[in-house]
Amino acid sequence: MLLNREHTSSTILKDAGKLDQVPAHVQFRGVSKTYDGQIKVVKDFDLNIHTGEFVTLLGPSGSGKTTILMMLAGFQAPSSGEILLEGRPIHDLPARKRGIGMVFQNYALFPHMTVGANLSFPLEVRGMNSLERKERVLRALKLVRLDGLSDRKPGQLSGGQQQRVAIARALVFEPSLVLMDEPLGALDRSLREEMQYEIRRIHRSLDVTIVYVTHDQQEAMVMSDRIAVLRDGMIDQIEVPEGLYEAPTSAFVARFIGESNQLHGHVSAMFEQDNVCEVDTGGEMIRALKVSPCHVGDQVTLSIRPERVKMNPESGRYTNEISATVEDLTFLGDQLRIRLATCGRDDFLATIPNVVGHGGLVEGDAVRIGWTVVDCRVLNYEQP
């Protein structure tokens, strides 16, 4: 399995309309979890994870993502609801019999054992003979590009190499489901980025389902087929990465996935034929695509990505063109990050390519900014 199967589910799952054609590997049905009998850290949680899919549970601390993973692994029991694995309830199945691979942030390697012995251990527990153990260990090491390091001990390896060993150990007994709980949290930035692409490569080469937990939205965007954004023990939105970024359905998701300018105002007019609202932000009238249900007079939040904001556009080019003042400029290598004062805020952001002749902007400049209607979204109001 480790080297011969070609992963095809990722490609299929890029088309959200085909999800129903792929069988559910994991199902959460109305799952809740409470530790004190009163406060639910997971609330009526429903989720289908499809065979061969890479699903990330993404959310801030306290959103319930690790608790959900631990219930699936069998280390914690749901307070209510049920979890199914390949269509079978697993509430009475202990963790050791679920056949699930696990990768943790702290690697959890045996320091006194060699790399080969660490990988061989789960195979010994399953009663596999020595010849087959050796073959599987070699295949797993080759998969994570650690050929020839079987005789080293974890302390002789770098952090990135130790994490690869932990991934190889989770895969060596050929599970159909692998759970990863913040596995890159202990690595520095460059190693994190390298390992993100390594995990994605491994997933694409195997017919394995991965459920991944992180609070790092870039990590989730790089690797996932779908991302479930959690808030207060519930899914706020679940989508493919592009869908979450381009079409957030709440102000919370818009803020949590990438950067988002958020303005607040009241709906002053509706243009139902175009699914567009006009919003009074207190001096500026802005037209935006209606996403959340709203009516004239409702208080709403507008979301605009910084890279969609154009500086000093040709007059009349955009439906939305407003005045602003440059508050600050930050050099980001290939981009300039411009903080602006407009619509009663002084933290409105625009990012523009750092090219020769970008305009020589300085603090205090009065500018015009603009954006299209479809790049601005009307979302549910959230307290600023």
Same domain, 243 and 294: no
For residue 119, the surrounding DSSP H or E stretch is helix 115-125
Same domain, 243 and 351: no
> Quick check: helix, strand or coil at residue 90?
coil
Q: Is 327 among the domain residues?
A: yes
Which one of 201, 236, 252 terminates a domain? 252
pLDDT, mean of residues 161-167: 90
Same domain, 126 and 153: yes
Same domain, 285 and 205: no
State pTM to two decimals: 0.87
Same domain, 41 and 116: yes
Distances in Å between the Cα of 251 and the Cα atoms of 29, 238, 288 are 26, 14, 14
Same domain, 169 and 42: yes
Q: Is 1 among the domain residues?
A: no
User: Are 203 and 10 spatial neighbours (Cβ–Cβ below 8 Å)?
Assistant: yes
| pLDDT tens, residue by residue, 201-213 | 899 988 899 999 9
pLDDT classification of 20: cutoffs 50, 70, 90? low
| pLDDT tens, residue by residue, 106-156 | 878 899 999 999 999 999 888 889 999 999 999 999 999 898 899 999 999
Distance, CA of 342 to CA of 247 (rounded, Å): 24
| pLDDT tens, residue by residue, 86-102 | 999 999 899 988 999 99
Q: Is 14 among the domain residues?
A: no
Same domain, 235 and 272: no
Which one of 204, 235, 252 terminates a domain? 252
- 285 Cβ contact partners less than 8 Å away, ≥ 6 residues apart: 268, 278, 279
Candidates 381, 374, 372; CA nearest to 281 is 381
Q: Is 13 among the domain residues?
A: no
Q: Is 278 among the domain residues?
A: yes
Number of folded domains in the chain?
2
pLDDT classification of 48: cutoffs 50, 70, 90? very high
Which CATH number belongs to the domain containing residue 169 in this structure?
3.40.50.300
Same domain, 51 and 180: yes
Whole domain around residue 189: which residue ranges?
A: 22-252
Which one of 252, 285, 320 terminates a domain? 252
